[in-house]
Amino acid sequence: MSGLRSFVARRLLLGVAQTVAVVLLVFALTEALPGDAAVALAGDQPDPARIEAIRETMELDRPAVERLADWAAGLLHGDFGTSLASGRPVSQYIADGFGPTLLLAALTMVLLVPIGFGLGVLAARHEGRLLDRLVSSVTLAVYAVPEFALGVLLVTVLAIQLGGLPPTAVGYGTDLLSHPAALVLPVLVLLARPVCSLVRLVRAGMIDALASPYVAQARRYGISGARIRYTHALPNALAPAAQQLARTIDWLLCGVIVVEALYVIQDSAPSCSTPSPNATYPSSRVWRSSSVS
């Protein structure tokens, strides 16, 4: 147990160190950009006096280290600063964007576990037969298709040609639960690659477990096949699949953004993908004093 605690503590400290390093790197790169937020807000051919006035109002005339320290202090209190484009708090952007993101991620995980484990066990049970080869071939083919290409394909076939589903979430806002049809295509795209990985891992683990000596001994004792598969073999095949599930949660943070942008889901995706200076640039300059409104 002490070894596990030490490992968790080291990983947490490493995560904190990596986060600090990324923050410092982004801050340094942002400071190295030509001009600053005051120049962007002043418009075309601005008066130098106006630029200086904006810079003073935003406290950009203060040393960079002081602004970074103020931002970090505000961060500890949940104050991420204010967007220069809209005047809204950055924390409000984050809160508004988490709703649809968490909904898509949660639906993906809820469907991933039964589908992935079910198909994996089914393929292992019919090892070498037509069903096993079919599952293996389909999962391999789907896994090779990028998310964006798969999303476009699903829109073309299911939304445009068949006409049974909305191609995007335009007009639905962030209340996607009231429009479940708009969730079908995004969730299918998010499910595709994780399901393929999980099915293949569960299948391989089940085949190894079913070929083990303790399973052969259980068969000699007359234990039923279903009990052998689900009580004895499946628990021993879960370790690689559990690790894959943990990696899938991390992957969803990136995959969701791509899917949200593809299906025009109104949340954090537009904020992350909109070119500066209209959105991203002002938000990235949040190192300035968080007291400025």
Q: Are residues 77 and 108 in the same domain?
A: no
Q: Are residues 28 and 128 in the same domain?
A: no
Q: Helix, strand, coil shares of the chain as percentages rounded to 5?
A: 75, 0, 25
Q: Note the pLDDT of residue 1.
A: 56
Backbone phi, then psi, for 95, in 5-degree steps? -65, -40
Q: Are residues 85 and 134 in the same domain?
A: no
Q: Are residues 58 and 42 in the same domain?
A: yes
Q: Are residues 239 and 116 in the same domain?
A: yes
Q: Note the pLDDT of residue 8.
A: 80
Integer-rounded Cα Rg, in Å, for the chain is 25
Residues 6+ apart with CB under 8 A from 149: none
286 by Cβ neighbours in 10 Å (0-12 / 13-18 / 19+) ranks as buried
Q: Are residues 60 and 18 in the same domain?
A: yes
pLDDT digits (tens, 9 = 90+) for 249-265: 877 877 788 888 888 77
Q: Are residues 167 and 105 in the same domain?
A: yes
Q: Note the pLDDT of residue 25.
A: 92
Give the C-alpha separation, 273 to 9, whole Å. 34
Ordered DSSP codes for 87-104:
--BHHHHHHHHHHHHHHH
Supply the range of the domain harboring residue 160. Answer: 93-273
Q: Is the pLDDT of residue 275 over 50?
A: no
Q: Are residues 162 and 61 in the same domain?
A: no
Q: Are residues 69 and 127 in the same domain?
A: no
Give the C-alpha separation, 165 to 270, whole Å. 22
pLDDT digits (tens, 9 = 90+) for 32-82: 877 777 777 777 777 788 778 877 777 777 888 888 888 888 888 877 777
242 by Cβ neighbours in 10 Å (0-12 / 13-18 / 19+) ranks as exposed
Backbone phi, then psi, for 82, in 5-degree steps? -130, 135
- Count Cα atoms within 13 angstroms, Cβ side, for 28: 6
Question: What's the distance, CA 250 to chain centroid?
Answer: 6
Q: Is the pLDDT of residue 84 over 70?
A: no
Q: Note the pLDDT of residue 28.
A: 87
Give the C-alpha separation, 108 to 192, whole Å. 10
State mean pLDDT over 4-32: 86
Q: How many structural domains are present in the chain? A: 2
Q: Are residues 79 and 101 in the same domain?
A: no
Q: Note the pLDDT of residue 198.
A: 92
Asked if residue 289 is part of any domain, the answer here is no
